[in-house]
Structure 1
Amino acid sequence: MTLKSLPGESYPLGATFEKDGKNGVNFCLFSKHATLIELLLFDEPNAPQPSEIIPLDPKINRTNYYWHVFIPGLTAGQVYAYRVHGPYDLENGYRFNPNKVLLDPYGKAIVGSSIYNREAAVELGDNCAQALRNVVVDNETYDWEGDWAEHPRLRTPYASSVIYEMHVGGFTRHPNSGVSPEKRGTFAGLIEKIPYLKSLGITAVELLPVHYFDPEDAMKGLTNYWGYSTISFFAPYHPYSSDQSPLGPLNEFRDMVKALHKAGIEVILDVVFNHTAEGDERGPTLCFRGIDNETYYILEKNKAHYKNYSGCGNTFRGNHPIVSRLILECLRYWVSEMHIDGFRFDLASVLARDASGSPLEEWKTYAPDILWVIESDPVLAGTKLIAEAWDAAGLYDVGRFVELADWFSEWNGPFRDDVRRFMRGDDGMVPCLAARILGSPDIYHRMDIDINRSINFITCHDGFTLNDLVSYNEKHNLANLENNRDGANDNYSWNCGIEGETNEPEIEALRLQQIKNLLTILFLSQGTPMILMGDEVRRTQRGNNNGYCQDNQLSWFDWDAVEKEYDLWCFIRRLIHFIQGLELFRQEGRLEVTYASLHHPHISWHGMKLGQPDWSSYSHCLAFSLRHPEADEYLHVMFNAYWEPVEFELPLLGHGDCWYRIIDTALPLNQTFCELESASQVTRESYPVQARSCVVLMVNPIS
């Protein structure tokens, strides 16, 4: 029986459940070049064929480029999809194929993961029985229990933030996670581990992509684990939910956000607006390609091919008006309806390319349209906006997002590289390290910004784990089935003398010392620190520096390691709490450099001798003093990346004051960190800093 339909409205886009007298669903889809659109309604999520096919008449159901229809009587939970008719003319960029069942670009929920087949979407034939579908959503029924209404948004300042980059699935998927089997690798599983994050001192989790992605976008026999293969920007990934009902993932995701907020932890989403899972001309037709290919993607002059600035086959056309509107409304949705606190923009430099793919010339003086639209939007005001300020085609814009945009912050790639090279013992790195410690003034020139908009990190999902950074000289990616061609070749790593796992006590002790060194530098530097999931317990990927396709114990969090590496975990926890408790590290302005006593926070540089930093290319040592007179905080820090011990002079103190040793990474792990109240007094006028180690001293203000 054919359902009754009405013409519908051209806004809002997507499927909108309407109550209050109308009682039905309005469907709206943009397509400039389609000749006919069919709305498919399914009785069950995995039904092989639709129960109803509703053709949209161009004369009745189209306004300009918007196709729309209203179906009375439909409710939330209705499963739907589209077929779109139009020309199949590759040279002109048209890829319409009515054999393909297509997702709604604005769809809020997706089902069909158990029947989905990527190859069926690649072939020209009908794929209805193996296609994903959308579900109509009613967002008004969820109980937020006062989150953002009775309880204000967290909006933790960058200066007080510690970010934990993590994978929702990998965090609890390991059998030893202690999470019940049905909740492993899910939003609900993460909820159970919130006390762990809270105890560590984490203030924000940065989740690898949770937008619905294509797990089959990987080499045959492997799985796309990281999720940088987006199918739908509005829908949470269904397999990350223990509740497999059509609307279960939405509610479970919101349960997770609500629980994290109650614990004082913000939620930042990694969003991938630079490409989609549809890949290049050999890829599947899932959504955008079949709806209006030329609108959504940047094409070559021969429009049968895609420009590839993402390294993943295609490039999303972010500065096209239709696409930029989709991006903005997507971000608004995740903030307003899902209570997200911020976003990390994967390969954000793609958004600094114009609609044809060329780098925007005006980017030299002000932010491109889409970036300005995002940061000036009132719904997004107050959210954290973090750019990965480069793309896969050579654009490297570190410094530019912060320089030309007023609210974006950035992953600081040079911080990662320079700190690694310094502790590895490379020549000429002392001046670079000093710049990174001071908040990278050589990169971030503006004086009117929060210096903590530099997101500092040593490791992230892309590359070696912290343990592997000090255990491998070379990548070992053969398990990815690409003959070790994938992954970065320049890792600035050092295996400390033996490649890979070893039982040699001296090598293991040095590796552990290097881990402590790297973490100490990270947290003592101006900027916002970010750590990678599992680094606190030496998670290893056995030298694989591109684990995007390793959905197995190689990538998962090993919860047995929490006990095995408990002393390291305690060191990091104490380090975080120590730094977070000092006013010196809550400054939003850059510390002034001085060699004289001032009445406001400042830093002074030293070498082995006071006031004589060695900036030469052969130096491997740096010392500095940090002082906040108003807070009565005074630290002296010494870094020795040399392979022999070095004696550092200590600043002279006034009568009654003395130095106390807070950190010495050359000491056994359980002695590396001491609280000020129990720290050992340093009575000498100099301190012997052992080879490849860091020392932090502090004056006890009540001494």
Structure 2
Amino acid sequence: MRNWKFNHIDFSTYPGYDGNDLGVFWSPEKTVIKIWVPTAQVVELRLYKDGLTGEAFHKTNLQKSGNGTWSTVLNGDYEGKYYTFKVNDGEWLNEVPGMYARCVGANGLRGQIYNPNSTNPEGWAVDRGPRYHSFTEAVIYELHVRDFSISENSGIESKGKFLGFTEEGTTSPQGQKTGVDHLQELGITHVHLLPVNDFATVDEEKPLEKYNWGYDPQHFCALEGSYASDPYDGTRRIREFKKLVKTLHDKGIGVILDVVFNHTFYTKESVFNQMVPGYFYRQKPDGTFANATGCGNEIASERFMARKYIVDALTFWVEEYHIDGFRFDLMGVLDLETMKTIREEMSKLDRGLFLYGEGWAADQSPMPEEQRAVKQNTHKLPGIASFNDDFRDGLKGNHGDKKSKGFVSGLNLREETIKFGIAAAVDHPQINFGYIESIKRAWAAEPDQCINYVSCHDNYTLWDKLKQSLPKAPDEELRKRVKLAGALVLTSQGVPFLHAGVEFCRSKNGNGNSYKSPDAINQLDWARKNDYIDVFNYFRQLIQLRKNHPGLRIANAEGIRSHLNFCTQYKIGVVAYCIEGQQVGDSWERIMLFFNGNAEPVEMPLPEGSFRVVANDTEINEAGIGELVSDTVTVQPVSMLILTLVK
């Protein structure tokens, strides 16, 4: 019986390899194979004609090739054949496709030898996503591949598939734009896709029998087959995902991938442990697997070959799939040096790649917090952003407590937390940290390190959270509160992040953790777009307003400290501030923003001059709404008001 405790092993003594040729690489004349398995005594390669069934038609042993690597060359054309490795390190381990498998058959059981160039859509050589001067210009939209199109009312034929993103001209039964046309109409700059790499819990042969968000990784370099039109041919998923990327790029929308390098779904049975037992995972002092992820294991990102593997995988996604950025699940499990290395290596490929993640872990780790990429250490990670959960909870209440309230649901004394979000989590002299429950100091050094949001795939949708914390509130009031939350997220400094469907009051029927709930819960109900078209239009106009005005997306912390001032007298339940627009390149000389979370209107004094109303709780119009105002202004209940100084 194998001993799965590793406190007797010093993994730092394992040889490292820094070449860029690990994996299986096809050419018409030969297929070259190299893998890193330093503890192996024998490595057997098996070839198959099928991705699931049948006996191996060829077996051969790899040869040692230095620094812990083993390799072989298959002469001839093996395109379309499937393969596995079987390692003996004193005992035979399970048959697996290897950790560098880039193309796999159904359910990831066998790797597939393939020609990457044959999977490229027309125009792929010149395909490129949008790039911006500052990441604060981005507006991110978080989306699950299956949720996007699976509903009967999506108007999309390739339901739940990568190809659903490539269909244009789709509409709901009510005639509203759906699918990719909806994304373009809304105006977002990036789609953030929940994991698309191969995950374990959905049977690709019966994809509609189960649902999962995909945070249960099996292969980090291969695509998930349940999103493909054919899960058996691994090249089909590659071809179709590239079409997804190119369609979005052609519409000026970038593609960000959610990556889960903090754990694997399987532990003992994982591809890592069946190649190099123990090495890729952290251990507790007693030698058992550590579990800062709450999923049974945590990746030892600090070890040389684990760090290299993560960088290699990300590099592959950028080079092969033209990906524009990455969101790191439970980034707080990964060590700081690995995240710094990732930023450095991604910048060598493309300085415009956007990196951000969850600055927390789910449980205790044997690695000290000061060495990990937790939110409090974000200032040590230039070019990497963290989610501002302080702002999120200040806006709507504690994420896990359905009855708790925040600023947009009428809870007072959350004003300093809201100011912290408005200032993009950077240090600002007018924020009193003593009144912020969750933190005691700023954690972002620059505004592009702060992801501002009010909801995401985790926990309740914004609509459901408001409905449960305000059970007697009528529909019209809840709409106003959704608009107020959207206004705060989309006019604040930093990087705004929207949960798909928030713009039409998405509901999951009150389900607070829908990671494996059925499509009936998770799907985007496109009928709601027509039902809540006023909310959709408000979000669309907010996004356009942000794009038009650099004052709402100042690119550096010093600019925020110098030119964004909380310039009005304090009133409970109200946050108001001024932006000196001309100082930050805006066409508006001075911008005043008011947010009233109270159930009553408030009268706010104005500085000297005349002001144009350009946004209120129902309308955004840069040309002006109504008469000019001076001296004082009334801010309606649960609403935003934006004024600009008239010269």
TM-score normalised per structure 1 = 0.78
Give the superposition deviation at 1:290.
1.2
Displacement after TM superposition at 1:53 (Å): 2.5
**1:135 equivalent in structure 2:** 112
After superposing the two structures, state which structure 1 stretch, 170-179 or 584-593, moved more: 584-593
Residue of 7, 21, 28 corresponding to 1:12: 21
CA contact (8 A) 2:611 2:643 kept: no
Q: Partners of 1:517 and 1:700 in 2: how far apart? A: 25
Seen in structure 2, the aligned counterparts of structure 1 residues 186 and 41 have a Cα distance that, compared at 3 Å, is same
Aligned: 1:524 with 2:491: yes
1:681 is paired with a residue whose SS is: coil
SS in 1 for 2:544: helix
CA distance in 2, matches of 1:469, 1:137: 47
Closer/same/farther in 2, CA of residues 165 and 11 from structure 1, 3 Å limit: closer
SS at match of 1:196: helix
Paired position in structure 1 for 2:183? 197
Query: Among 132, 136, 140, which residue is 1:159 paired with?
Result: 136
Listed one character per residue, the Cα deviations across residues 10-54 of structure 1 (whole Å, up to 9, x for unaligned) are 9721111134xxx11122222222222221111122223322222
Q: Residue 444 of structure 2 contacts residue 450 of structure 2 at CA under 8 Å; is this kept in 1? A: no
Contact 1:17 1:76 in 2 (8 A): yes
Question: Unaligned 5+ residue runs, structure 1?
Answer: 1-8, 89-95, 114-130, 353-367, 473-493, 499-505, 595-600, 665-671
Moved more, 230-239 or 44-53: 44-53
The corresponding residue for 1:408 is 384
Q: Is the 8 A contact 2:538 2:620 kept in 1?
A: no
CA contact (8 A) 1:311 1:392 kept: yes
1:454-474 Cα distance to aligned partner (Å, 9 max, x none)? 1111101111111112112xx
Structure 1 residue 86 displacement after superposition: 3.0
Q: Which residue of 2 aligns with 1:681?
A: 627
1:288-437 paired onto structure 2 within 5 Å: 288-303=272-287, 305-352=288-335, 368-377=336-345, 378-379=348-349, 381-393=351-363, 395=369, 399-420=375-396, 421-437=406-422
Tell me if structure 1 keeps the 8 A contact 2:549–2:587: no
Deviations 1:90-132 (A, max 9, x none): xxxxxx53xx32121101111123xxxxxxxxxxxxxxxxx71
Counterpart of 2:527 in structure 1 is 560
Q: Is the 8 A contact 1:402 1:444 kept in 2?
A: no
CA distance in 2, matches of 1:593, 1:29: 49
Asked if 1:576 corresponds to 2:572, the answer is: no
Q: In the alignment, which of 106, 120, 134 is matched to residue 112 of structure 1? A: 106
Q: 1:699 to 1:384 in 2, by over 3 A?
A: same
Q: Which of 599, 602, 615 is 1:662 aligned to? A: 615
Q: Is 2:221 aligned against 1:266? A: no
> Structure 1 residue 529: deviation in Å?
0.5
Contact 1:318 1:351 survives alignment (8 Å): yes
- Matching residue of 2:30: 24
Alpha-carbon separation, structure 2, partners of 1:583 and 1:177? 35
Mapped contact 1:459–1:531 kept (Cα < 8 A): yes
Structure 2 partner of 1:287:
271
Give how far 1:212 is off. 0.4
Whether the 8 Å contact between 2:127 and 2:246 is mirrored in structure 1 is no
Question: Is contact 1:638-1:695 (8 Å) kept?
Answer: yes
Which of 223, 228, 242 is the equivalent residue of 2:229? 242
* Residues 10 and 67 in structure 1, CA contact (< 8 A), matched pair in contact too: no
Distance in 1 between residues matched to 2:375 and 2:20, nearest whole Å? 38
2:640 partner amino acid: C
SS in 2 for 1:337: helix
% identical aligned pairs: 27
- Asked whether the equivalents of residues 186 and 540 of structure 2 are also in contact (C-alpha less than 8 Å), the reply is yes
Summarize deviations over 1:358-412 as a string: whole Å, max 9, x none.
xxxxxxxxxx331222111112533111121111125595554541122212212
Structure 1 match to 2:451: 455
- Structure 1 residues 613 and 591, CA gap change in structure 2 (3 angstroms): farther
Q: How many Å apart are 1:552 and its aligned residue?
A: 1.2
Counterpart of 1:502 in structure 2 is none
Maintained 8 Å contact 1:308/1:314: yes
Distance in 2 between residues matched to 1:585 and 1:11, nearest whole Å:
42
- Distance in 2, Cα, partners of 1:136 & 1:385: 31
Instruction: Tell me whether 260-269 or 585-594 shows the greater mean CA deviation.
Output: 585-594
Match of 2:215 in 1: 228
In structure 2, the residue matched to 1:93 is none
> Looking at CA atoms only, which structure, 1 or 2, has the larger radius of gyration?
1
- How much has 1:209 moved relative to structure 2? 0.4
AA in 1 matched with 2:278: E
Cα deviation per residue 1:220-268 (whole Å; 9 max; x = unaligned)?
Answer: x984511001111100111111244331111111111111111111111
- 1:267 and 1:342 in contact (8 A); partners too: yes
Contact 1:61/1:69, CA 8 A, preserved across alignment:
no
Q: Distance in 1 between matches of 2:340 and 2:382?
A: 9
CA distance in 1, matches of 2:616, 2:625: 9
Structure 1 residues 11, 336: CA separation in 2 closer, same or farther (over 3 Å shift)? Answer: closer
How far residue 295 of structure 1 moved from its aligned partner, in angstroms, is: 1.0
State the match for 1:501 in structure 2.
none
1:613 is aligned, of 559, 563, 570, to 570
2:434 is matched with none
The 1-side partners of 2:166 and 2:646 are apart by 39
1:623 partner amino acid = A
Residues in 2 aligned to 1:700 and 1:564: alpha-carbon distance in whole angstroms: 37
TM-score (norm 2): 0.84
Cα offset, 1:329, TM superposition:
0.7
Aligned residue number for residue 401 of structure 2 = none
**Alpha-carbon offset, residue 434 of structure 1:** 1.5
Q: Is the 8 A contact 2:136 2:553 kept in 1?
A: yes
Q: Does 1:36 align with 2:42?
A: yes
Q: Tell me, what secondary structure is at the counterpart of 1:336? A: helix
1:300-319: CA deviation from partner (whole Å, max 9, x where unpaired): 3443x311011111111111
TM-aligned CA deviation for residue 342 of structure 1: 0.6
Aligned with residue 631 of structure 1, among 566, 586, 606: 586
Aligned counterpart, 2:159: 184
Partners of 1:15 and 1:26 within 8 A in 2: yes
Instruction: Please state how far the C-alpha of 1:65 moved relative to its aligned partner.
Output: 2.0
Equivalent residue for 1:82? 85
User: Structure 1 residue 694 and structure 2 residue 647: aligned?
Assistant: no
Q: Deviations over 1:544-580 (max 9, x none)?
A: 1111111412001112222222221111111111221
Task: Kindly indicate whether the alpha-carbon contact (under 8 Å) linking 1:462 and 1:545 is maintained by their aligned counterparts in 2.
Answer: yes
* Residue-pair matches, total: 580
Q: Is the 8 A contact 1:398 1:413 kept in 2?
A: no
| Contact preservation (8 Å) 1:36, 1:55 | yes
The CA distance in 1 between the partners of 2:67 and 2:631, in whole Å, is 79
After superposition, the Cα gap between the structure-2 partners of 1:73 and 1:276, relative to the gap in structure 1 and judged at 3 Å, is: same
* Per-residue CA distance 1:313-332 (angstroms, 9 max, x = gap): 11111111111111111111
The AA in structure 2 aligned to 1:566 is: I
Query: Shift of residue 145 of structure 1?
Result: 4.7
Q: Are the equivalent residues in 1 in contact too, given 2:377–2:443 (CA < 8 A)?
A: no
Q: Distance in 1 between matches of 2:299 and 2:276?
A: 12
Q: 1:434 to 1:254 in 2, by over 3 A?
A: same
Counterpart of 2:492, as a letter, is: S
Relative to structure 1, the CA distance from residue 681 to residue 10 in structure 2 (aligned partners, 3 Å threshold; closer, same or farther) is: closer
CA–CA distance in structure 1, aligned partners of residues 377 and 304 of structure 2: 21
Mapped contact 1:275–1:316 kept (Cα < 8 A) = yes
Equivalent position SS for 2:474: helix
Q: Secondary structure at the match of 1:290?
A: coil
Provide the residue aligned with 1:4 in structure 2: none
Q: What are the Cα deviations for residues 553-611 of structure 1, in whole angstroms up to 9, with x where unaligned?
A: 200111222222222111111111122111212420237679xxxxxx823324xxxx4
